[in-house]
Structure 1
Amino acid sequence: MGIEFGGLLGLIILVLDIYAIIRTVQSGASTAAKLIWVVVILVLPVLGLLAWLIAGPNSPRT
């Protein structure tokens, strides 16, 4: 049962990371800020996601 739970948790983190990256790219932040956020999310999937939720760019481009 531990393997299935770990796989499901990993899949959920992957989906949330992809969502965070998409929202970051669509944000109105500068290109440099977008690049930094995407790298942080990719290198540190869990911590990067938490940091993005707390301090990431949230304003989508219109």
Structure 2
Amino acid sequence: MAPLTSLALQLCLAAVAFAAPLADHQIKTLGMNPGQQYGTGGGIVGFIVLVLDIIIWIEVLKSSRPPSHKILWCVLVFIFPVVGALAYWVLSDRKKWNDQQYEVLP
């Protein structure tokens, strides 16, 4: 579980770094207008979408779905982060696939 946690932390840190506004000299170098400096990496909304997508990937991969369904959901959320996440939360039968049935020993 440690490699997955490390990867998630690295992705979060990268998202924060890319969401930072550009400096004035970077804006001039890239030939951008000063109003274009925000939203270069998605900002706070992009970071929230990234975190939600990572949570969905972890939930899907830990579920008892067939492998083909896991791949389909992960690819859908990867290609369409916002629409895929909304579709997953609304259309997937999360309770059915995420209920863990444990046997109680006498």
Shorter-chain TM-score above 0.5? yes
Distance 1:22 1:57, change over 3 A: farther
Which runs of 5 or more residues in structure 1 are unaligned?
none
Identity of aligned residues (%): 32
Spell out structure 1 runs of 4+ moving beyond 6 A.
none
Higher helix share goes to which structure? 1
The answer (yes or no) to whether the contact 1:13–1:46 under 8 Å persists in 2 is yes
Q: Structure 2 unaligned runs (5+)?
A: 1-36, 101-106
CA RMSD of aligned residues (A): 2.0
**Rg larger for:** 2
TM-score (norm 1): 0.84
- 1:3-60 deviations in whole A, cap 9, x for unaligned? 27x4000000000000011101111110000000000000000000000001124222
Larger RCO (CA under 8 A, 6+ residues apart): 1
